[in-house]
Amino acid sequence: MTSHTPAFCSIVPPHLLERLAESADPAVAEAARRTLAVDLTQRTTRTERPAPAPAEDGAGKPRRTIHDAKNGTQLPGHQVRGEGEPATTDDTANRAYAGLGATYDLFLNAFGHDSIDGAGLPLRATVHYDEKYDNAFWNGEQMVFGDGDGELFLDFTLPVDVIGHELAHGFTQYSANLAYYGQSGALNEHVSDVFGSLVKQHALGQSAEQADWLIGAGLLGPAVDEGTALRSMKAPGTAYDDDVLGKDPQPAHMDDYVRTGSDNGGVHINSGIPNHAFYLLATGLGGNAWERPGRIWYATMTGGRLSEDARFGEFARETVSVARELYGDETAEAVVRAWSGVGVSTS
């Protein structure tokens, strides 16, 4: 079966890189254009969805390998660390190894899901990809991290939620397989933001109230004067408002839904709407977001009832149904209120 999800899913959206490519600063424009060119090559390379990994001895433990592209583009590159091997002298490789582990831990310990496919899929990552590459991506088979240009974007292994976000595209690929266009594509990005944030909260032991609900905090470099992250689930549209990056375009409510033909129909933009619904639910219920809210979203994705081209309303109704099945009417009503808060009907 060919995956309905495209092989290439990146953390920095094309609309942001396209703006940077028009910058009056030659260094900024060059880095963005180079990144866009590499992304286009990756985006047009389709990958068959791999068959689930066979069960092996040691199930319930991660199987990680970290490779170094040495600033080239050949994948996977030279292996620098395998599962259980000691840390290397390369902090980037060690962060990638730890981030893969943190993502694996969330899925296993919070949801009983062995790796991103539920069957112990080995997790592979490549670091130091290309030169001044301003992105990180999942290509259908593995994670890839750029070093950033050092001015606008720093090393893409720095925020653990970026690692969790991209690996969660693999989770979607193996579960609901949401089509990467329009509202289903925005849900695809939303699910990655949710599980990316949960990876960070789980690793830090943070409750929903303690979490910052930012995606990519710590990624923006010294040339960004007004920006904290790539996206905010707490307050979509407020992650940055900068002379170079521009204004964060994410809406938090269906009243402001952005209709566009770019970015696969605004998948990185309109994901702000379901993102905010999840934030409202998690903070409304309180406690750890990977518990009731996370389990509802996980069961929605793995339950087999979502259509691949699901729109917001279908996804929302399924979360209500799952909440009622798992936790009863009170929690289901909390889910209804969260979606109502962003203008999505569940009736």
Catalytic center residues: 166, 268
- Over its C-alpha atoms, the chain yields an Rg (Å, rounded) of 19
Cα distance between residue 210 and residue 199, in whole Å: 14
Cα distance between residue 213 and residue 215, in whole Å: 7
Strands (E), 33-95: 64-68, 78-82
Helix (H, G, I), strand (E, B) or coil at 137: strand
Cα distance between residue 235 and residue 125, in whole Å: 31
Q: Which residues of 302-338 are buried (b: 16+ CB within 10 A; e: fewer)?
A: beeebeeebebebbbbbbbbbbbeebeeebbebbbeb
**Dihedral-angle region of residue 287 (phi above 0 means left; psi in -120 to 50 means alpha; beta otherwise):** left
Q: How many residues does the chain have?
A: 347
Nearest 5 degrees, angle CA 287-CA 207-CA 213?
A: 120
* Residue 57 token pair: 């001895």
Give the 3-state secondary structure percentages of the chain, helix then strand then coil, rounded to 5.
40, 10, 50
Cα distance between residue 225 and residue 294, in whole Å: 34
**Residue closest to 276 by CA, chosen among 186, 159, 153, 151:** 186
φ and ψ at residue 209, rounded to 5 degrees: -70, -30
Neighbours of 54 (CB within 10 A): 7
